[in-house]
Chains A and B, each alone.
Chain A
Amino acid sequence: MENKNETPLKKVCIICAKGSIEDVYATLVMGNGAVMEGIETKLFFTFFGLDAITKKQMNKLHTATVGNPAMRMPGGLPFPSIMGMLPGVEAGVSAMMMKEMDKLDIPPVDEFLDMVTAGGGEIYACKLAMDMFKLEKEDLSEHVKDVLTIGDFYGMCGGENTQIIFT
Chain B
Amino acid sequence: MATKNIAGVILDVTDEGYLNDPSQWTKEVGAGIAKEEGLELTDKHYELIEFIRNKVEGGEGLTIRGIGKSGIVDIKGFYQLFPGAPLKKATKISGVPKPASCI
Contact = CB atoms under 8 A, between A and B. Distances in A.
A37 B85 contact: yes
A107 interface: yes
A99 to B, nearest CB: 16
Contacts of B64: 32, 36, 115, 119
A114 B61 contact: no
A119 B79 contact: yes
A119 B61 contact: no
A151 B42 CA distance: 44
A29 interface: yes
Q: Is the interface of B mostly helix, strand, loop or mixed?
A: helix
Interface stretch (B5-13, B21-29, B68-76): B68-76
Contacts of B86: 36, 119
Range, interface on chain A: 10 to 19
Interface in B78-100: 79, 83-88
Contacts of B68: 115, 118
15 contacts: A29-B103, A32-B103, A33-B103, A36-B64, A36-B86, A37-B88, A105-B63, A105-B103, A115-B64, A115-B65, A118-B68, A119-B64, A119-B75, A119-B76, A120-B79
